A and B are shown apart, each in its own frame.
Chain A
Amino acid sequence: MKCRALIHRNQALQIEPKRRGTKHRSLVHTSASIATPKTNFVQLNRDDADPRGPLFVIPKAGNPTMNDTLIIALIVLAALLVGAFAGVRLRDRLPKHHLTRDEKPCKRFDGSGRYRFGAGAWASDL
């Protein structure tokens, strides 16, 4: 039923403006936007002279290449290194008392039978 309603609506959008004029101008525009959506699609026409429009549409899947992934991976790597570098720079600028929390030990027992060392001990608290 829903489909039928939609089809009927589209037909009305295409036919009615010719008879009723300005009231449906916006509907004509809507109809045009329905007919040719700005999406990543290829339209296959039946024939240039065929007024029935495109036979069917095929989505452009794009050409996935390794370059895209490689570039994204490089961006991720750069972001992580920049983050680490920013942390190092921040450490130089921060007062010492911000970096020591009650004389945090470099090595500590985490309660599960294991020792955590250095940055790992701090990172586990993050």
Chain B
Amino acid sequence: MVATVSALVLGLLISNANTSFTRLGGQVTSLSAEILRLDQILRQYGADAEPARNTLLKYAEHKADDLFPDNPADVRLSNPSTYELLQRLEDMLLALKPATPRDQWWLAQAMTLAAKIGDARWLIAQQIGQGTPKAFVALLVFWLALLFASFGLFAPPNLTSAVTLMLCALAVAGAVAMFLELEQGFGGLVRVSPEPMRQAVKTLEAEPSNQNTP
């Protein structure tokens, strides 16, 4: 029974961690898409929005560096200076004075997207670290240790049994490590793909400044 419960719990934990990992990846992709869309809208707005576009580019660069640094230990999900850039961008948008209804519409869209980017930032920051309680992991390890004790108790004392037990222990420890990695999302062995954010930064850098006003 302990074996069945342990297998079920371990499977459910991996499945749950995989779901949250996938959701986190989706949020990063959404964030990059919203950044790109906001930049496009600001281009449509015209030359008045150029400073805001530059700030958006800086924000995207900082955000990509925060989420996906070269050293995984340097991940900063809630870097205050990066968030200040977003706030500055919002202030710049608020300072714009749309002359026509068209500009007004673009500005409203831009404000909505900026708010969404802020939401995504907080969502990503808040989700991390809310994984499986450590006490639960400890209980699971206790069950598994009990299970392996029973294996050791009844397995024939030979090399084959010892090697098999060692391999089983490695497999179970690997499964525990895997769901812990998946829960973390950023940094470590398994991490959310940085490609959407990096692609967004590249696109923003490649986009020429818009000089034509509508």
Q: Enumerate chain A interface residues (CB-CB to B < 8 A).
A: 42, 44, 58-70, 72-77, 79-88, 90-91, 94, 99, 118-119, 122-124, 126
Q: List 25 A-B contacts (CB under 8 A).
A: A63-B75, A64-B184, A64-B188, A65-B73, A66-B188, A68-B184, A68-B188, A72-B137, A73-B173, A76-B172, A77-B170, A79-B141, A79-B144, A81-B165, A83-B146, A83-B152, A86-B152, A87-B153, A87-B154, A88-B155, A88-B157, A91-B152, A119-B156, A123-B147, A126-B147
- Measured between beta carbons, the chain B residues less than 8 angstroms from A63 are 73-76, 187
Among B75, B78, B153, B156, the residue within 8 A (CB) of A42 is: B78
SS of A interface (majority):
helix
How many whole Å from A84's CB to the nearest CB in chain B? 4
Among B125, B151, B185, the residue within 8 A (CB) of A59 is: B125
Bound form: Cα–Cα A118–B185 in Å: 40
**A61 touching B150 in the complex, CB below 8 Å, given contacts A66-B189, A69-B181, A126-B1:** no
Among A61, A65, A87, A123, the residue within 8 A (CB) of B3 is: A123
**A84 touching B148 in the complex, CB below 8 Å, given contacts A64-B184, A64-B187:** yes
